[in-house]
């Protein structure tokens, strides 16, 4: 965290030079596209583009490492809980059942494992663009961009007591 209390990392990359409103719109479109699909091919392309954008931004990995690892841990824990709580969830989605790993109380099927892989890819697809927006946008620029898209500043500021 820098002296202003934000995660903004100064730089001169293309993403740093973009207007805050453009970054906000890009983030919104990226998020909508991510939640519109449940296809590994789409996530593979989006994740690749996101990682390339993140690398070209020049943000040092040590600055984003904590958020990166928190997201990885969240994704792994989420996957473990899905497998343990609903090991046959994939069957409900696809209508097929390919048993893979017996648990004793149920059997994990291939469809659930594929669903977990796809869901994890969905979460990870959001990571690079989120990190880009957080680390390349000054808080004042972000607030101004929210105001430009119609969100009043009074909703952004915390209430004073």
pLDDT tens, position by position, 40-86: 999 999 999 999 999 999 999 999 999 999 999 999 999 999 999 99
Cα distance between residue 11 and residue 64, in whole Å: 14
pLDDT surpasses 50 at 123: yes
Instruction: Identify which has the larger pLDDT, 41 or 4.
Output: 41
Instruction: Identify which has the larger pLDDT, 54 or 147.
Output: 54
Question: CA torsion angle for 13, 60, 40, 24 (degrees, to 10)?
Answer: -50
Question: CA torsion angle for 6, 12, 15, 21 (degrees, to 10)?
Answer: 70
pLDDT band at 161 (very low <50, low <70, confident <90, very high): very low
pLDDT at 141: 81
pLDDT at 1: 59
Distances (CA, A) of 23 to 18, 83, 102: 7, 36, 46
pLDDT digits (tens, 9 = 90+) for 78-121: 999 999 999 999 999 899 999 999 988 899 999 999 999 999 99
Averaged pLDDT for residues 16-33: 92
What is the H or E stretch that residue 62 is in?
A: helix 61-85
């Amino acid at each position: 965290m820098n002296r202003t209390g934000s995660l903004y990392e100064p730089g001169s990359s293309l993403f740093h030079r973009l207007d805050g409103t453009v970054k906000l719109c890009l983030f919104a479109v990226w998020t909508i596209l991510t939640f519109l699909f449940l296809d590994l091919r789409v996530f593979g392309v989006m994740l690749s583009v996101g990682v390339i954008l993140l690398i070209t931004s020049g943000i040092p990995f040590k600055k984003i490492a904590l958020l990166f690892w928190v997201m990885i841990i969240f994704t792994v824990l989420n996957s473990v809980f899905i497998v343990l709580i609903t090991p046959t969830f994939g069957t409900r989605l696809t209508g097929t059942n390919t048993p893979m790993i017996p648990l004793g109380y149920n059997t994990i099927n291939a469809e659930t494992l594929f669903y977990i892989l796809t869901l994890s890819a969905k979460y990870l697809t959001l990571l690079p663009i989120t990190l880009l927006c957080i680390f390349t946008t000054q808080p004042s620029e972000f607030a101004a961009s929210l105001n430009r898209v119609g969100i009043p500043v009074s909703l952004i500021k915390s209430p004073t007591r």
